[in-house]
């Protein structure tokens, strides 16, 4: 059972798209030089008004374009092409490209920051945003376990619990372990709310 909080952000594991297949393909999107915020593997990212990628720090609302999977750039010191699973804050590279998994129907695995209940399956939830690791480049974002509700504007839909040692205890019980792993998706939006995923919004950036 998961008795320790070790969040890792959003980990893509599948898709609900009509194609029925998940390739994990990413889109290459630019990061502006000297962007001053660490972006970690597994963080949600958005498209800024200047067309570049920035870290999304939303909790009860997102508007993300997808999940940051890493980046490439020419190191301004060594002049060598560099591939990294995170964006170092204030990097002066001028050719940086983010690798973003931008499927709006992606299924993601996340760890919750507290115990859940089987009745939370199908509810919506918020995100806990924490600065990622500058050493390992991994996100530390989590699902906010205190927020599951029917509230239409919450950004993530809890689809299921992960089967295995970090999920629910044996059948016949309802409470999860202390920090369960769950499967989530970007919540849909009606015409009266803003979608958690940019591609599903009617308004442009």
Compute the distance between CA of residue 119 and CA of residue 142 in angstroms, rounded to an integer: 19
Nearest alpha carbon to residue 158 among 205, 199, 122, 111 = 122
Compute the distance between CA of residue 160 and CA of residue 147 in angstroms, rounded to an integer: 16
pLDDT by residue (tens digit) across 16-72?
Answer: 876 667 788 899 999 999 999 999 999 999 999 999 999 999 999 999 999 999 999
Domain boundaries defined on the chain: 1-205
Compute the distance between CA of residue 142 and CA of residue 52 in angstroms, rounded to an integer: 25
Compute the distance between CA of residue 62 and CA of residue 173 in angstroms, rounded to an integer: 33
Compute the distance between CA of residue 146 and CA of residue 30 in angstroms, rounded to an integer: 35
Q: For residue 69, how many other CB atoms are within 10 A of its CB?
A: 18
Compute the distance between CA of residue 95 and CA of residue 72 in angstroms, rounded to an integer: 8
54 touches 46 (CB < 8 A):
yes
pLDDT by residue (tens digit) across 123-170?
Answer: 999 999 999 998 899 999 999 999 999 999 999 999 999 875 445 655
Compute the distance between CA of residue 139 and CA of residue 39 in angstroms, rounded to an integer: 8
Compute the distance between CA of residue 83 and CA of residue 93 in angstroms, rounded to an integer: 12
The model's pTM: 0.91
């Amino acid at each position: 059972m998961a008795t320790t909080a070790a969040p890792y952000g959003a980990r893509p594991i599948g898709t609900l798209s009509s194609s029925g297949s998940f390739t994990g393909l990413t889109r290459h999107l630019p990061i502006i030089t000297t962007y001053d915020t660490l972006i970690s593997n597994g963080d949600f990212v958005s498209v800024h008004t200047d067309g570049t990628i920035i870290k999304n720090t939303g909790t009860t609302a997102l508007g993300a374009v997808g999940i940051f999977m890493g980046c490439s750039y020419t190191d301004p010191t060594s002049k060598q092409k560099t591939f990294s699973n995170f964006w170092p804050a204030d990097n002066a590279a001028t050719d940086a490209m983010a690798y973003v998994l931008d499927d709006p129907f992606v299924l993601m695995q996340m760890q919750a920051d507290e115990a859940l209940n089987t009745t939370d399956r199908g509810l919506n939830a918020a995100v806990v945003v924490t600065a990622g690791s500058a050493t390992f480049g991994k996100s530390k974002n989590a699902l906010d376990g205190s927020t599951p509700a029917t509230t239409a504007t919450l950004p993530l839909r809890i689809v299921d619990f992960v089967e295995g040692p970090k999920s629910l205890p044996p059948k016949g019980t309802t409470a999860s372990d202390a920090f369960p792993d769950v499967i989530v998706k970007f919540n849909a939006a009606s015409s009266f709310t803003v979608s958690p995923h940019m591609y599903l919004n009617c308004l442009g950036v």
